[in-house]
Amino acid sequence: MLEELNRVLWGPLGVGLLGAAGLWLTVRTGWFQLRQARLWLGQTLGALLAGSPELDRQSGDNISPLQSLCTALGATIGAGSVLGVGAAIASGGPGAVFWMWVMALFGMMTAYAEHLLGLAYRRRQGGMWQGGPMYYLSEGLGARPGCKALGRALAGLFAGLCVLASLGMGNLSQVNAMAAALQGAFGTPPPLTGAVVALATGVLLWRGLKGVAAAAGRLVPLMAAFYLAGALLVVGLHAARLPAALEAIVRGAFGLRAAGGGLVGYGVWTAVRWGFARGCFSSEAGLGSSAIASGSASTPEPVQQGMWGMFQVFVSTFVVCTLTALAILTAGLVDLDTGQVAFSAPVEQLAGAAFASAFGPLGPVFLGVTVALFAWSSILGWSQYGAACWTYLLGPDSLWIYKLVFLALTAAGACADFTLALALADAVNGLMMLPNLAGLFALSGEVARRTRRYLEEKRIAP
């Protein structure tokens, strides 16, 4: 049943909606991600490199922009950025990587709109600023003539699906990937992994968003630097294969004839489907989830917060996922002429084999530690997404119920089947994006107007 649902959601319908939303927002904002690349990179990467004090600004009812970014990145750069890339290559061939890039290019504008609207329509709930699709659907779309009931219905639908997503994609699939990685690296029994992760998560979960954001602000930069250094080393050691790997990505994306005369072993549609599905899974652009973290940020201007959404997609896909893919392709684990995976072990071990080619027996250890950190940060971020949506639906008084369910599934999810967990995550993702994309299409004019006004105020040519 899950496979049939995923074929619908990630067939022409889901892929078409994601691509159309990103393209529509790109056109309406004048190709902002390309024409204003210097602006948004300066406001994000430039601010990080310069150590801008604005990044750490927070108040009693806000978290800092840096904490918001790290919470969103922590939720985004989960197991999908490592194990999911291997699954994309195994299922769609090297060409799936190209379509992950295409998804990210337009997904940057989808994320931009989500973060912009998430800050613009935020509301106070439980003593904290709360934002996200449930608010811009109910307050933004719902303010249109004749759309009040529709906006509220879509907001409630999104919130309900987000709660389920936090338990599926943000919990079960992540702890399951963590358990598999730690078992392969250290022989750690999955039940022990589940129990320890549930306990550690519970300590922070009961402290609320501020506790999770503070932990993410410390954890995410360290884990990203750790992983990127290792991935760069793998690619560097196999640098001679890098041109062939890049060529295979382009060939596979369009089903072109391989250099040796054979045909790439995957169809164009298969590469597109898996590239978009895994691209959405890794960046979350189109789901609307990361806009929940942006709604609690102390950033004063919605357009500036939108730029952080773009940066999030840029880091998760163009940096982390790309390096993961190149590590796998240059390590000799894929036949670059046919696109077939020359690896007999389970898909989730593909990235580990790439690191083993550089680190030897320490490769699985490196990957185990990395996946554990990535997955835990994703669990922490998604716990807050689910909590915010639960609060929207049922109020803060019953939030303890959600927390107990979340922690119980964290402990149990370590023993679930990897394939089932990933299929469940894909299904919930696909369902969750539908109400969010409806809101983005409806509010695209407002996104364009706010963008133009910001550029005019800054005296920047559109």
Tokens for 54, please give them.
């604005």
Contacts of residue 457, Cβ cutoff 8 Å, sequence gap at least 6: none
Calpha distance 400→415 (Å, rounded): 24
DSSP state letter for 109: H
Calpha distance 83→177 (Å, rounded): 8
pTM: 0.89
CA 437 to chain centre: 16
Q: Give the pLDDT score at 260.
A: 45
Q: Give the pLDDT score at 406.
A: 92
Are the CB atoms for 430 and 6 separated by under 8 Å?
yes
Are the CB atoms for 448 and 28 separated by under 8 Å?
yes
Are the CB atoms for 441 and 21 separated by under 8 Å?
yes
Tokens for 43, please give them.
């406001």
Provide the CB-side half-sphere exposure for 443 (13 A, CA): 31
User: Residue 451 region, left (φ>0) first, then alpha (ψ -120 to 50), else beta?
Assistant: alpha
Q: Give the pLDDT score at 452.
A: 94
Please report the DSSP string for 163-206 in residue order.
HHHHHIIIIIHHHHHHHHHHHHHH---HHHHHHHHHHHHHHHHT
Q: Provide the 3-class DSSP secondary structure of residue 297.
A: strand
pLDDT in tens, 244-255: 999 988 888 887
Q: Which residues of the chain have pLDDT under 70?
A: 53, 55-63, 74-75, 77-81, 83, 126-127, 209, 256-269, 273-274, 277-282, 343-348, 417-422, 461-462
Are the CB atoms for 296 and 135 separated by under 8 Å?
no
Q: Give the pLDDT score at 310.
A: 92
Distances (CA, A) of 214 to 44, 204, 220, 370: 19, 10, 10, 20
Tokens for 66, please give them.
């840096």
Helix 362-394 to helix 350-359 angle (10° resolution) is 140
Q: Give the pLDDT score at 435.
A: 94
Q: What percent of the chain has pLDDT over 90?
A: 29
Cα 412–Cα 130–Cα 291 angle in degrees, nearest 5: 75
Bridge partners for 129 per DSSP: 124
Tokens for 411, please give them.
């402990």
Tokens for 285, please give them.
């652009």
Are the CB atoms for 65 and 298 separated by under 8 Å?
yes
Mean pLDDT, the chain, as a whole number? 83
Contacts of residue 272, Cβ cutoff 8 Å, sequence gap at least 6: 15, 92, 96, 99
- DSSP H helices, 206-348, are 208-237, 242-254, 268-283, 291-294, 302-313, 322-330
DSSP state letter for 128: E
User: Nearest 5°: phi and psi at 353?
Assistant: -65, -35
